[in-house]
Amino acid sequence: SQQGEEDPQALSIQEGENATMNCSYKTSINNLQWYRQNSGRGLVHLILIRSNEREKHSGRLRVTLDTSKKSSSLLITASRAADTASYFCATDANDYKLSFGAGTTVTVRA
């Protein structure tokens, strides 16, 4: 069963704009991870944030985690056409087993 639920389901933005997507989950976690999937490819890990962290950055990515609200957000700044992909959050309850959400499909228009 899916624990993480992303919002929105789809997002279309202009190149150079920022893209924000959210993830909500139901049970306690050890960490939350974000993955990207380009069409027809496997998932690629983007960033991991642990339950005792509130914010993390990696290049143009910024992830926040609010354990009191059981939610996380992924911000992609200055988007590029290459950022067009589906983005998934995944939660780990401390057993290495990830529960993935349904994903947000991001389209970056040139």
Partner 1 sequence: DAGVIQSPRHEVTEMGQEVTLRCKPISGHDYLFWYRQTMMRGLELLIYFNNNVPIDDSGMPEDRFSAKMPNASFSTLKIQPSEPRDSAVYFCASSPGTSGGAIQETQYFGPGTRLLVL
Provide the binding-site residues for partner 1, judged by CB under 8 A.
2, 30-31, 33, 35, 41-45, 48, 88, 92, 95-103
Nearer to partner 1, 11 or 90 (CB): 90
Q: What is the 3-state secondary structure (H, E, C) of the chain?
A: CCCCEEECCEEEEECCCCEEEEEECCCCCCEEEEEEECCCCCEEEEEEEECCCCEEEECCEEEEEECCCCEEEEEECCCCHHHCEEEEEEEECCCCCEEECCCEEEEEEC
CB of 13 to partner 1, least distance (A): 23
Torsion over CA: 82, 83, 85, 88 (sign) = positive
Nearer to partner 1, 45 or 80 (CB): 45
Nearer to partner 1, 4 or 76 (CB): 4
Nearer to partner 1, 71 or 103 (CB): 103
CB of 1 to partner 1, least distance (A): 9
CB of 76 to partner 1, least distance (A): 19
